[in-house]
Chain A
Amino acid sequence: MSVTGIGASVRRKEDVRFVTGKGRYTDDINRPGQAHAYFLRSPHAHATINNIDLSAALKMPGVVAVYTGDDIAADKVGGLICGWMIHSKDGSPMKAGAHPALAQGKVRYVGDHVAVVIADKLSQARDAAEKIVVDYGVLPAIVDPAMAVGADAKIHDAAPDNTVYNWHLGDKAATDAAFARAAHVTRLDLVNNRLSPNAMEPRAAVGDYDEGTDGLTLYTTSQNPHVARLVLSAFIGLAPEHKFRVIAPDVGGGFGSKIFIYAEETVCVWAARKVRRPVKWTSDRTEAFLSDAHGRDHVTHAELALDAYGKILGLRAHTTANLGAYLSTFSSSVPTYLYAPLLSGQYDIPAIYAEVDAVYTNTAPVDAYRGAGRPEATFVVERLVEIAARETGKDPAAFRRQNFVTSFPHQTPVIMCYDGGDYNASLTKALEIADYANIGKRKAEAASRGKLRGIGISAYIEACGIAPSAAVGSLGAGVGLWESAEVRVNPIGTVEILTGSHSHGQGHETTFAQLVSERLGVPIDNVAIIHGDTDKVQMGMGTYGSRSGAVGMSAIVKALDKIEAKAKKVAGHCLEASPDDIEFKDGKFTVKGTDKSIDFPSVALQAYIAHKFNGQELEPGLKESAFWDPTNFTFPAGVHICELEVDPQTGVTTIVKWTAVDDFGNLINPMIVEGQVHGGIAQGVGQALFEGAVYTKDGQLVTASFMDYQMPRADNLPSYNIAITKTPCPSNPLGIKGCGEAGAIAAPPAVINALTDALGHEDIAMPASPLAVWRAARKTMAMKKAAE
């Protein structure tokens, strides 16, 4: 391992610009003549739009234009799409309601887009928006997914009972049979709470139209600019792809919320052509709460069947998933194929059956948020397993061990084939670091101070590196999920990597350069990573689902293989040897068994000056591209252990120790991997203890600012104890599994298992706020009193 190669904790190349304020985020971009857009949003959760009077608004100072859904319709701008087709049990396709970028005749959630005002200044646009008079006919609203079917609110004509689909996975008969012969059944009702993603950078878009070329440019906060261009071109129809450039510059966090194609960027690009001026929109935080796609929001009943020895026989789950008022870009896949296939957890479960009813409600659309489906599955599995152990009087760690998958490949009953792992190794290491054996002493010591102490395990698995295109296609995906890479070696031996992956905090400029440095022997400072621009990078699928390493870097490897092969031919000509006799190591091409060699930059130069070979036999230049389509998902897995203390007087929960042992396969940059784990844990702890997007019954979002939505702060969280185990991934050349979502997946059940351990009962929901914990602790104290 070199100091900058694979496995080294190289300090990040991108950081100098970020720590000096020289990052370039979308809102930092200003185009000459730019106007500003402000969206008038629905104050009602559900209403008809009877009339919109724009006359007063149009007279306001600085106003350039005001548009409504009528203008969108007149220009035949297509609606926003959901790109993953799910079929119901009965074979019928999901019921997708129309999703116009500006509302047409009806609004369906608070924050829905009613009109856009474009003005010279943002303050003018906002002033004018207040002068728009909308005559609403308020309709009944529904926000609770469990009550959506049969509610008075009829949200889409296409979905008469507010049902998007009734989907299922697994063998019902086999699962029912498993339950029929069970010695013990554990039953659990749970809610996976609704979350606001809250990347610190709010979404933003600048649409720019070039009259000379009839070309459109969109600068936007996207995790996947090529997918944005594809959707905006092919489905929404704003411009053909060859006249449409999408640039996602520095992006300040995504967590899924910036995968999707939203109304605002659609309108900015469309309006820029109409007003012949660049149009800029930047979300404020309140708008972000209202209209960024939320996450989670499941209501689940789940059951686990055990035999008399504590061996798991089967698992079944029924989930109602809230998809909000419209189907967001990938929303349909989250509670189905990203969820139910993970219900086997790390366990050998012979029979699994899951039913998922997805419903519309008068709330913001719900889509992928860090982990996307997998945290929901892990919460079901790890809560069930924990409670099953407690109910049968077994140690929760030992119970898990008894049921772990131990031989690979392991085909689960729900699609996934686990290709490798060592779950016992992670558990053993985690128990040791957490000092699990001595928890009893610590509980007693805490009790002497009037505190309730508990410990909770979460043994999670996720499916990342999404995935073989043919496989996801067979499951309904509208796109392939490969990744592309291009390696351009310049004549002096510097290297540009063009990747379809997108970094919004993950550090690709460093990790991808480490790979190139390792392979080509060039210093990482001589490697540039180019991403986020559809005019530069041919095509790409972007970054989500912890796929940039496993899929994106694998594409780079494939292109580097081609570079090496080509360079060997060039070197062969230079060294007057057959390419088969050339070895490439540490940046040097050597004729086997001789001291004849030439370094990489010299080969690059020779490739371009093309003096040493016949251009008919060997093409000049040194540039290769590749597409990588994996053969399987990757399966990161690990064990997190949370130890916490509750103050029963106030309900305040304090995490005293966090242990994480993860198997991510091979690591490129351990420092960056650890950082990903830290951030994931914080978000997972946030879900468990702090965060919840709350609507009133009539659909007003109560948690529409940081005043009401509790973000994890530094003083809410501990430092984390992080360790790794390693089983390389067999399905990609680097052996990488992916690490971006692990913490967010692992953490919620670890926290709730610890909390219920402390409380001595299972009666607590997420987020376990001080209020909720205080109530639960009262029950605990009453139970203790009764026992005395």
Chain B
Amino acid sequence: MPTVSMTVNGKPVTGEVDSRTLLVQFLRETLRMTGTHVGCDTSQCGCCVVHIDGDAVKSCTTLALSCEGAKVTTIEGLANGDQLHPMQEAFRENHGLQCGFCTPGMIMTAVELVGRKGHNLDEKTIREELEGNLCRCTGYHNIVKAIAAGAQAMGAKA
């Protein structure tokens, strides 16, 4: 079986995979990092979003072997020890989650969004940028609020 090596949340990892192993399977099954979720099979729900070399991507639509040498960040790699990332804190503070299943993908999408579009995000921009993330619980109201607040907090911290 082929092996793949990459850096996940700052740690080098190597594992045996099938050619058809997806990045999300490598994370969940090989590395047993189950924070990244799978909510669909057509690349639409965004529960599986992680960062590859800083870009938000759908780990269910990426071959593990394509990630050779890549730097991958997952939801487990966002907090600094016990200190939540400002976007994580904003989701909690604004009740931007209920069942929590879409939340890792939402947060990873939001963090990258701030990187691309800055700290002052209006409601329209946030709603449009969430095109690839589905939530069934919150009706998005508080997710939008959380992302706006998280973006501000990331700016204040920087």
- A residues in contact (CB < 8 Å) with B: 11-12, 14-25, 27-28, 30, 123, 198-202, 250-253, 255, 284-286, 504-507, 671-672, 674-675, 678-683, 705-707, 711-715, 717, 719-720, 743
Taking the complex as formed, is B51 at the interface, i.e. its CB lies under 8 A from any CB of chain A?
A: no
Contact A21 B34 (CB under 8 A): yes
Contact A12 B92 (CB under 8 A): yes
Chain A residue nearest in CB terms to B34 = A28
User: What residues on B are CB-neighbors of A674 within 8 Å?
Assistant: 95
User: What residues on A are CB-neighbors of B45 within 8 Å?
Assistant: 200, 285, 706
Contact B95 A12 (CB under 8 A): yes
Distance A393 CA – B123 CA, assembled complex (angstroms): 39
Contact A252 B88 (CB under 8 A): no
User: What residues on B are CB-neighbors of A680 within 8 Å?
Assistant: 139
Among A285, A506, A682, A715, point to the contact of B127 (Cβ < 8 A).
A715
Chain B residue nearest in CB terms to A14 = B100
Contact B33 A21 (CB under 8 A): yes
Contact A714 B75 (CB under 8 A): no
Chain B residue nearest in CB terms to A29 = B34
Among B36, B40, B143, point to the contact of A714 (Cβ < 8 A).
B143
User: What residues on B are CB-neighbors of A28 within 8 Å?
Assistant: 28, 34
Contact B141 A713 (CB under 8 A): no
Q: Decide yes or no: A253 and B101 within 8 Å by CB, A711-B134, A715-B131, A719-B141 being known contacts.
A: yes
Contact B92 A16 (CB under 8 A): yes
Contact A252 B107 (CB under 8 A): no
Contact B95 A671 (CB under 8 A): yes
User: What residues on A are CB-neighbors of B93 within 8 Å?
Assistant: 11
Contact A719 B20 (CB under 8 A): no
Contact A682 B140 (CB under 8 A): yes
Among A16, A23, A285, A720, point to the contact of B139 (Cβ < 8 A).
A720
Interface 1/0s, chain B 11-42, versus A by CB < 8 A? Answer: 00000001010000000110011111111111
Among B34, B95, B136, point to the contact of A675 (Cβ < 8 A).
B95
Among B32, B75, B130, B136, point to the contact of A20 (Cβ < 8 A).
B75
Chain A residue nearest in CB terms to B18 = A123
Contact B136 A679 (CB under 8 A): yes
Contact A200 B99 (CB under 8 A): yes
A-B pairs, 9 with minimum CB distance: A21-B35, A252-B101, A18-B100, A505-B99, A682-B139, A21-B75, A505-B98, A678-B139, A28-B34
User: What residues on B are CB-neighbors of A20 within 8 Å?
Assistant: 35, 75-76, 78-79, 84, 88
Distance A743 CA – B140 CA, assembled complex (angstroms): 14
User: What residues on B are CB-neighbors of A681 within 8 Å?
Assistant: 139
Interface 1/0s, chain B 82-121, versus A by CB < 8 A? Answer: 0010001101110101111111100100000000000000
Distance A488 CA – B95 CA, assembled complex (angstroms): 29
Contact A200 B123 (CB under 8 A): no
Distance A672 CA – B74 CA, assembled complex (angstroms): 27
- Minimum CB–CB distance from B100 to chain A (whole Å) comes to 3
- Minimum CB–CB distance from B145 to chain A (whole Å) comes to 8
Chain A residue nearest in CB terms to B143 = A714
Distance A504 CA – B100 CA, assembled complex (angstroms): 9
User: What residues on B are CB-neighbors of A713 within 8 Å?
Assistant: 130-131, 134, 140
Chain A residue nearest in CB terms to B128 = A715
Q: Decide yes or no: A678 and B142 within 8 Å by CB, A20-B84, A21-B74, A23-B100 being known contacts.
A: yes
- Minimum CB–CB distance from A653 to chain B (whole Å) comes to 16
Return 16 A-B CB contacts under 8 Å, by A number. A12-B92, A18-B103, A20-B76, A20-B88, A25-B34, A27-B38, A199-B99, A252-B102, A253-B98, A505-B100, A678-B138, A706-B134, A719-B141, A719-B144, A720-B141, A743-B139
- Minimum CB–CB distance from B62 to chain A (whole Å) comes to 17
Contact B131 A507 (CB under 8 A): no
Taking the complex as formed, is B7 at the interface, i.e. its CB lies under 8 A from any CB of chain A?
A: no
Distance A286 CA – B39 CA, assembled complex (angstroms): 10
Distance A198 CA – B29 CA, assembled complex (angstroms): 24
User: What residues on B are CB-neighbors of A251 within 8 Å?
Assistant: 99
Contact B135 A200 (CB under 8 A): yes
Distance A258 CA – B153 CA, assembled complex (angstroms): 37
User: What residues on B are CB-neighbors of A284 within 8 Å?
Assistant: 40-41
Among A21, A24, A27, A285, point to the contact of B104 (Cβ < 8 A).
A21
Taking the complex as formed, is B154 at the interface, i.e. its CB lies under 8 A from any CB of chain A?
A: no
Taking the complex as formed, is B44 at the interface, i.e. its CB lies under 8 A from any CB of chain A?
A: yes
User: What residues on A are CB-neighbors of B135 within 8 Å?
Assistant: 200, 714
Distance A6 CA – B41 CA, assembled complex (angstroms): 42
Contact A714 B126 (CB under 8 A): yes
Q: Decide yes or no: A504 and B134 within 8 Å by CB, A16-B92, A706-B42 being known contacts.
A: no
Taking the complex as formed, is B65 at the interface, i.e. its CB lies under 8 A from any CB of chain A?
A: no
Contact B40 A705 (CB under 8 A): yes
- Minimum CB–CB distance from A741 to chain B (whole Å) comes to 13
Contact A679 B139 (CB under 8 A): yes
User: What residues on B are CB-neighbors of A15 within 8 Å?
Assistant: 91-92, 97, 100
Taking the complex as formed, is B57 at the interface, i.e. its CB lies under 8 A from any CB of chain A?
A: no
Chain A residue nearest in CB terms to B141 = A678
Distance A284 CA – B25 CA, assembled complex (angstroms): 14
Taking the complex as formed, is B61 at the interface, i.e. its CB lies under 8 A from any CB of chain A?
A: no
- Minimum CB–CB distance from A405 to chain B (whole Å) comes to 29
Distance A161 CA – B78 CA, assembled complex (angstroms): 59
Taking the complex as formed, is B56 at the interface, i.e. its CB lies under 8 A from any CB of chain A?
A: no
Contact B39 A18 (CB under 8 A): no
Q: Decide yes or no: A21 and B36 within 8 Å by CB, A200-B102, A285-B41, A715-B128 being known contacts.
A: yes
- Minimum CB–CB distance from B88 to chain A (whole Å) comes to 4
Q: Decide yes or no: A717 and B140 within 8 Å by CB, A705-B40, A706-B134 being known contacts.
A: yes
Chain A residue nearest in CB terms to B36 = A21
Instruction: Give 7 A-B pairs besides A11-B92, A200-B45, A720-B139 with Cβ atoms closer than 8 angstroms.
Output: A19-B92, A25-B37, A201-B99, A284-B41, A505-B137, A712-B140, A715-B128
Chain A residue nearest in CB terms to B108 = A21
Contact B41 A16 (CB under 8 A): no
Taking the complex as formed, is B47 at the interface, i.e. its CB lies under 8 A from any CB of chain A?
A: yes
- Minimum CB–CB distance from B23 to chain A (whole Å) comes to 15
Taking the complex as formed, is B133 at the interface, i.e. its CB lies under 8 A from any CB of chain A?
A: yes
Q: Decide yes or no: A714 and B42 within 8 Å by CB, A21-B34, A28-B34 being known contacts.
A: no
- Minimum CB–CB distance from A725 to chain B (whole Å) comes to 20
User: What residues on A are CB-neighbors of B41 within 8 Å?
Assistant: 284-286, 705
Looking at A202, A252, A720, which has the most chain B CB atoms within 10 Å of its CB? A252
User: What residues on A are CB-neighbors of B142 within 8 Å?
Assistant: 675, 678
Among B18, B99, B127, point to the contact of A253 (Cβ < 8 A).
B99
Distance A285 CA – B141 CA, assembled complex (angstroms): 25
Chain B residue nearest in CB terms to A121 = B18
Q: Decide yes or no: A672 and B95 within 8 Å by CB, A200-B102, A719-B141 being known contacts.
A: yes
User: What residues on B are CB-neighbors of A682 within 8 Å?
Assistant: 138-140
User: What residues on B are CB-neighbors of A672 within 8 Å?
Assistant: 95
User: What residues on B are CB-neighbors of A22 within 8 Å?
Assistant: 35, 76
User: What residues on A are CB-neighbors of B98 within 8 Å?
Assistant: 253, 505-507, 675, 679
User: What residues on B are CB-neighbors of A199 within 8 Å?
Assistant: 99, 101, 136
Distance A678 CA – B78 CA, assembled complex (angstroms): 28
- Minimum CB–CB distance from B10 to chain A (whole Å) comes to 15
Distance A123 CA – B29 CA, assembled complex (angstroms): 13
Among B38, B84, B130, point to the contact of A16 (Cβ < 8 A).
B84
Distance A79 CA – B109 CA, assembled complex (angstroms): 44
User: What residues on B are CB-neighbors of A714 within 8 Å?
Assistant: 126-128, 130-131, 133, 135, 140, 143-144
Distance A504 CA – B137 CA, assembled complex (angstroms): 10
Among B20, B74, B89, B137, point to the contact of A679 (Cβ < 8 A).
B137
User: What residues on B are CB-neighbors of A19 within 8 Å?
Assistant: 75, 84, 88-89, 91-92, 97, 100, 103-104, 107
Distance A252 CA – B134 CA, assembled complex (angstroms): 13
- Minimum CB–CB distance from B8 to chain A (whole Å) comes to 12
Among A123, A285, A675, point to the contact of B20 (Cβ < 8 A).
A123
Distance A437 CA – B52 CA, assembled complex (angstroms): 53
Chain B residue nearest in CB terms to A252 = B101
- Minimum CB–CB distance from A39 to chain B (whole Å) comes to 15
Chain A residue nearest in CB terms to B91 = A19
Distance A28 CA – B18 CA, assembled complex (angstroms): 20
Distance A202 CA – B107 CA, assembled complex (angstroms): 20
- Minimum CB–CB distance from B77 to chain A (whole Å) comes to 9
